[in-house]
Structure 1
Amino acid sequence: MSITTAHHRRLRLAGRAAATVAGAAALAGLVGAFTPSYANAEPAAGTHSASVAEPPADFSDCPALPAGVDPVRWRCEVHSAAARLTMGKVTVTLAPITMTHAEGPLPDGTNGQVWGAMHSAPTAVPGGLTGTPAGDRARQLGLALQPEYGDRFDAYTGQFSLRFRLLNPLLPHACAIGADAPVDFQMKRSGPSEWLSKNPPLIKFSAYDDTFAAPAAENCGPLTGLLNRRLGLPATSGNLLSYDAMYTFRTYDQLPTD
């Protein structure tokens, strides 16, 4: 069930699916593809939090809940991912990405989701605009990639969208890969989710997509053609997004009220 929003503060309920046995079975096969909110299995006996990293525990982006739902059964879920991206001719390790959303049962018993927010920071593209050492040394020739929420997120199926804003003093602010039609990802798990801690809940997982198409950069002014040749865009194959992430959650009755 997807959530579509024109802004990360605007909330929309995910679409509702009929609760059939076949549908539930299909959903069970997809659960955990994106984040393991889904990881309903308990952590192994003896698991504790003494030796694990702190979870991404900032719950300030938890969205408001839909009317009529039970806060005890809804979870605010936060995951932080260390992402690696190959798109066209560019391969970078992106700055950490943090996403927040809520999910739980709707009043009619079907699953619901509400988008919260996404945060990341620009990542320098090696070689800058020119693809040469000069692009790493001169500010005017540098280039950075800023991932932004692309108005689609579905934790149940692993589908989400991103835009990649291209930053350089010579480029307009609107210059982006996926400016008009965001890049769509269908994430798949690289392996089973791993409970690192039960209290606080902390789950580790890995996911990837190697099937997405990368569109050309748009709205980049006179440098649009040069930029696309430099980045090798559009690229219909050979692209990869993969990441290792940690995930935590709280039910809404456990969230701070102030």
Structure 2
Amino acid sequence: MTPEAELAALEPGYADCPALPVGVDPARWRCEVHLASPRLRIGAVDLPAVRPIMMVHAEGPMADGTPGQAWGAWRSGGPTAVPGGLTGTAAGGRSRLLGLTLEPVYGGRADFYTGVLSLRFALAGPVLPRGCAVGASVPVEVHLKRPAPSVWVSRNPPLVHFSAYDDAFTASAPEGCGPLSGLLARRLGLPATSGNVISYEASYTFRMYDRLN
């Protein structure tokens, strides 16, 4: 994808820029729009291509000079099919009734200064109730690290590429999944305290708040 195409794909995210905290200088705050293409291994499930996720947030100095942030939005490209469905077999993968999808969902906490992000992993299928998820009651917390420095593709307008990952988070057992909770936990190999990995390649752009309109 060309830089022009990447910037065009990121542009809609500015509609989700959050309101600024009271008393801050808009000229020193920026709205960032990220587009990430994740890979996920959780328990016994390996998803090398999760649907893209757009994240929007704002950051800048608070009135007292300390670093501040404001959350904007999390927009998922939709659920990703889990190979093998509920049974983990070729037959399960072909069966509509036994189909299973997974979708990362924002868990209510994001700190872009430290890389901490809380997530839920929504699970869905024809025989699963709404609300079935890993991290349903207590979100899964990931601590994202950068394996290499960010790369500035363009300065004006800004376009930055970077990678991030966490290979040490704990994934809990699925909750809210009705009578199939036990079967689903065994199928997914959860809970799992090791072997879980989330990584992604991302692009982001930004605008200062005094130049948003």
TM score, norm. by length of structure 2: 0.94
1:194-213 aligned at under 5 Å gives the runs: 194-213=151-170
Q: In the alignment, which of 54, 62, 65 is matched to residue 106 of structure 1?
A: 62
Match of 1:76 in 2: 31
Q: In the alignment, which of 130, 133, 147 is matched to residue 104 of structure 2?
A: 147
CA contact (8 A) 2:18 2:58 kept: yes
- In structure 1, the gaps of 5 or more residues are 1-49
Match of 1:90 in 2: 45
Which deviates further from its counterpart, 137-146 or 230-239?
A: 137-146
Q: Secondary structure at the match of 2:129?
A: coil
Match of 2:83 in 1: 126
Distance 1:89 1:232 in 2: 5
Q: CA deviation at 1:63?
A: 0.4
CA contact (8 A) 2:121 2:134 kept: yes
**How large is the Cα RMSD of the aligned pairs?**
1.1
Q: CA deviation at 1:51?
A: 5.4
Match of 1:54 in 2: 6
Q: CA deviation at 1:136?
A: 2.1
Structure 1 residue 251 corresponds to structure 2 residue 205: no
Distance 1:136 1:254 in 2: 49
Tell me the amino acid that sits aligned with residue 188 of structure 1. Answer: K
Q: In the alignment, which of 81, 93, 100 is matched to residue 136 of structure 1?
A: 93
1:16-35 aligned at under 5 Å gives the runs: none
Distance 2:137 2:50 in 1: 22
Structure 1 residue 115 corresponds to structure 2 residue 100: no
Distance 2:132 2:41 in 1: 19
Match of 1:10 in 2: none
Q: In the alignment, which of 157, 180, 184 is matched to residue 141 of structure 2?
A: 184
Distance 1:247 1:57 in 2: 10
1:117–1:51 CA distance, 2 compared to 1 (3 A): closer
Runs of 4+ in 1 over 6 A off after TM superposition: none
- In structure 2, the gaps of 5 or more residues are none
Q: CA deviation at 1:199?
A: 1.4
CA contact (8 A) 1:52 1:196 kept: no
CA contact (8 A) 2:3 2:159 kept: no
Deviation per residue, 1:27-58 (Å, 9 max, x gap): xxxxxxxxxxxxxxxxxxxxxxx756422222
Tell me the amino acid that sits aligned with residue 54 of structure 1. Answer: E
TM score, norm. by length of structure 1: 0.78
Distance 2:147 2:55 in 1: 19
* Same amino acid, percent of matched pairs: 63
Q: In the alignment, which of 157, 163, 176 is matched to residue 219 of structure 1?
A: 176
